[in-house]
Chains A and B, each alone.
Chain A
Amino acid sequence: MAENMSVVINVNGAGRAVSVEPRKTLADAIREDLGLTGTHLGCEHGVCGACTILLDGEVVRSCLMLAVQADGAEITTIEGIADGDDLHPMQSAFSEYHGLQCGFCTPGMILAGIDVVSRNPDPSPQEIREEMGGNICRCTGYQKIVESVQAAAAVMSAEGGSA
């Protein structure tokens, strides 16, 4: 076993120190060391999008990074987007428009959706489908996810692009 390394990550606005083996993926560190189990792991090789987080504001696959690579970075997980009990508009829209069934893909979908809207405040259904093609859902058939992202986009633009 290689020696543990200490890493400081700014997670959802708070600095957290963890001690991890270099081979530990960021996704595993988020779940096991930071205790934030909202980040889900489906494929663990980059194809399903369930583990999507924001790294310094950009969407990435947390299963394809090592935790040691996030030293000094700022990450946002699904736990970090609500304001206390006030859900993020993307979360509210998924709830209201039935953008989820089992919920396994949902954390990744919501972060990917926020990313799409942050770059394109008024995405068309086609644009949402193309941009979110990297996130797989086995339940909904996607229609309701697309509707949720569109509805959230309208709210987010009205609020002035809150992320």
Chain B
Amino acid sequence: MKPAVFDYSAPESIAEALDLLAEHGSGAKVLAGGQSLVPMLNFRLARPAHLIDVNGVDSLSYISANGSLRIGAMTRLTAIGESGDVAGAHPVIPAAVAQIGHRAIRNRGTIGGSVAHNDPAAELPAVLMALDAEVTARSVDGERVIGMQDLIEDRLFETTLGDTELLTEIRIPAAAAGSTFGFQEFARRHGDFALAGVAAVITTDGSTITQAALGAFGGTHATRLPTAEAALVGAETGDAAFAAAGAGAAADFPATSDVHGTAEYRSHLINVLTVRALNDAAGQAGGGNG
């Protein structure tokens, strides 16, 4: 048997799940899609005493596009990638989801799991940061709304969620009118975790950039790229501004070396990918994204 022994509960409501979290606290782990947690159980890198499987909590699985976009924590990545509501509100999300693992992974993996797991190479935490998303966390003591930046800070493989909190919803404010996006990542193999990647969302007023939000992944933690954003806002779209943003992105990016590539290589990648993403975003301007 691969995983170590644990007790197992499968609550059917949020209230039941919260009671179990309150009872078991730091000894318990929430089981969402299992696409990160079960490998860790199989390796015995995680040995929770109690597993709280929330796959039976149907009220955590929904997509609602009514002003802001609200996505329940247990919504599967495949459903998000195929949702017309999501694509209509924030087309950068399906572009990013398509790069997450493979179909079999996306059929089980959830948005809440991806955010809570906070792998520094994961697409969604960085994309949601660029979109100024907030998450709702609930516990028996009540509910908190946490901005993505405050959820992640500079953490990796953990967030500021408490042991007894359940992430229940991701809420993404409506996109600015006429905003366009670019999404670029580099991975050794389609479906692998990226060495580096960036999501860029820009708004222009004619040819002047009025808003720019960039989120990067593949460094030590998911992050916005403030120097790159500052280089863009107020500038004319085009090679000069995009090159300045690329250099800014490389300066902001918390690059790290590992077996897959050096920090220098990753910084170079984020520069090049930022320029490409901005060109993609500029290419959509005028056409609009609906």
Residues of A within 8 A of B (CB): 1-2, 5, 21-25, 28, 44-46, 49, 52, 55, 58-61, 63-66, 68-69, 112, 115, 129-131, 133-134
Contacts and interface: CB of A to CB of B under 8 A. Distances in A.
A3 B107 CA distance: 29
Contact of A45 (B39, B103, B191): B39
Nearest to B191: A133
**Interface size class, chain B:** 20 to 34
B5 A23 contact: yes
A45 B189 contact: no
Given A2-B6, A130-B190, A23 B41 contact: yes
B34 A64 contact: yes
Given A64-B35, A64-B39, 15 more contacts: A2-B5, A22-B51, A23-B2, A28-B2, A45-B39, A46-B38, A55-B107, A59-B103, A60-B108, A64-B34, A65-B38, A66-B38, A68-B53, A131-B103, A134-B101
A133 B189 contact: yes
B103 A134 contact: yes
A64 B38 contact: yes
A63 B37 CA distance: 12
26 contacts: A2-B7, A2-B8, A22-B7, A23-B1, A23-B3, A23-B4, A25-B3, A25-B38, A45-B39, A46-B38, A46-B101, A49-B102, A55-B107, A58-B78, A59-B104, A59-B107, A60-B108, A63-B42, A64-B34, A64-B38, A66-B34, A68-B8, A69-B34, A69-B53, A131-B102, A134-B191
Contacts of B38: 25, 45-46, 63-66
Contacts, number: 93
A134 B105 contact: yes
A21 B1 contact: yes
B43 A23 contact: no
A80 to B, nearest CB: 17
A141 to B, nearest CB: 15
B32 to A, nearest CB: 11
A60 B44 CA distance: 22
A2 B1 CA distance: 12
A25 B4 CA distance: 12
Counting chain B CB atoms within 10 Å of each CB, which of A65, A133, A134 scores highest?
A134
Contacts of B42: 25, 44-45, 63
